[in-house]
Amino acid sequence: MKKFQAEIDVMPKKEILDPQGKAVTGSMKNLGLAEIQNVRIGKHISLEIEAESTETAHNKVEQACKSLLANLIMESYSFELHEV
Amino acid sequence: MKKFQAEIDVMPKKEILDPQGKAVTGSMKNLGLAEIQNVRIGKHISLEIEAESTETAHNKVEQACKSLLANLIMESYSFELHEV
């Protein structure tokens, strides 16, 4: 069995309003950081997974994202896997 | 002025308990994904920034992380910048 580390980003879809991001964009201005625009806030998830192969690990992480980590109606996900 | 995209990860520090991650690790088992361990959940933030140079953009993003995006007592951050 090999051990992999997955780094997953779950972000609100582009066409979905992100009120938390909007609020942070506004706060940037108050902090003197008006150059910062279009803040969007999502989740970052790191996890460890044991699997026979990279392909199996990839499939398991896909399954975890689809069934638990991301709400596919409002969010999209992407991830990277590396062996540890 | 150049435009940069920053991709920031804000994660709970290793020595800090992550109850949300613990709960998700438990749920993985119920979903038949017991190979998945040590889930930790943080934030992923994407933003756009205008700056004269990569160095200026880097400093501004550092400042944003330190003053607003991360709580340095409990969280650590890392980011990547690329010109768009």
DSSP string spanning B13-30?
-TTS--HHHHHHHHHHHH
**Domains: count for chain B:** 1
Is A67's Cβ below 8 Å from some Cβ in B?
yes
Cα angle for residues A13, A14, A17 (degrees, 5° grid): 85
| CATH code for the domain in which residue A48 is found | 3.30.1280.10
pLDDT (0 to 100) of residue A22: 96
Q: Model confidence at B59, in pLDDT bands (50, 70, 90)?
A: very high
Task: Decide if the complex's ipTM is over 0.85.
Answer: yes
Q: Are residues B11 and B17 in contact, defined by beta-carbon separation less than 8 angstroms?
A: no
Confidence at residue B64, expressed as pLDDT on a 0 to 100 scale:
97
What span, in angstroms and rounded, lies between the C-alpha atoms of B48 and B1? 13
- Interface contact flag, B43 A39, Cβ < 8 Å: no
Q: Is A38 within 8 Å of chain B by CB?
A: yes
Tell whether B30 lies on the interface with A, counting CB pairs under 8 A.
Answer: no
Q: Which domain holds residue B62?
A: 2-83
User: pLDDT tens digits for A41-76?
Assistant: 999 999 999 999 999 999 999 999 999 999 999 999
